[in-house]
């Protein structure tokens, strides 16, 4: 987050980061502004792209996606164009795609129904993106989706 962010906007961002469902009334009380002023500032933060959206975090087990894995991608041909995100964006099991430094080019966060589904997903990723993969299966998640330290 930019250091140019005004203290009030920083407070609003911090509160929404911790509780994206916070009402404008509650948010106004927490940051010491009127409801209309908070509404206006939130709209500006959304327009400038600081607030990218609001989402619900779902429990993978309860929605039938109990297996989470991290898949590292290494190009098979280092001279190939770096268009892996575009090649993979249609695959719904991929929850996040991170460009990383190191031996791998990207790390994908995926959620699937079973080990067999993970095996099929790996085959699909290798075929579509022409990459080699290294997979780490998540055994448990002590925490995730923590608010950013604003």
8 A C-beta contact, residue 41 and residue 12 = yes
Q: For the chain, what percentages of helix, strand and coil (3-state, to nearest 5) are there?
A: 35, 20, 45
Query: Would 149 be classed as within a structural domain?
Result: no
User: For residue 97, what are its two tokens?
Assistant: 């795609």
User: For residue 102, what are its two tokens?
Assistant: 């190191």
Q: Rounded mean pLDDT of 65-93?
A: 95
Whether residue 132 sits in one domain with residue 74? yes
pLDDT of 1 over the 80 cut = no
Whether residue 44 sits in one domain with residue 95? no
pLDDT of 89 over the 50 cut = yes
146 or 95, greater pLDDT? 95
Is 45 in a helix, a strand, or coil? helix
8 A C-beta contact, residue 8 and residue 33 = yes
Query: Would 147 be classed as within a structural domain?
Result: no
Per residue in 20-72, pLDDT tens? 999 999 999 999 999 999 999 999 999 999 999 998 889 999 999 999 999 99
Q: Which domain holds residue 31?
A: 7-48
Residue showing tokens 């400038």: 48
Query: Would 103 be classed as within a structural domain?
Result: yes
Whether residue 31 sits in one domain with residue 66? no
Structural domain total, the chain: 2
Give the CATH number for residue 40: 1.10.10.10
Backbone angles phi, psi at 143, to 5 degrees: -160, 155
């Amino acid at each position: 987050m930019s250091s140019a962010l005004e203290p009030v906007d920083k407070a609003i961002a911090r509160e929404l980061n911790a509780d994206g469902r916070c009402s404008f009334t509650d948010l106004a009380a927490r940051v010491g502004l009127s409801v209309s002023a908070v509404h206006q500032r939130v709209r500006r933060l959304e327009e400038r792209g600081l607030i990218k959206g609001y989402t619900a975090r779902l429990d993978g087990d309860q929605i039938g996606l109990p297996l989470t894995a991290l898949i590292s991608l290494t190009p098979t041909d280092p001279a190939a164009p770096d268009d892996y995100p575009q090649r993979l964006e249609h695959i719904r099991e991929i929850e996040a795609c991170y460009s990383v430094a190191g031996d791998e080019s990207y790390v994908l966060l995926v959620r699937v129904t079973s080990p067999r589904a993970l095996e099929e997903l790996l085959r699909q990723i290798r075929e579509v993106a022409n990459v080699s993969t290294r997979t780490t299966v998540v055994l448990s998640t002590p925490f995730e989706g923590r608010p950013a330290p604003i």
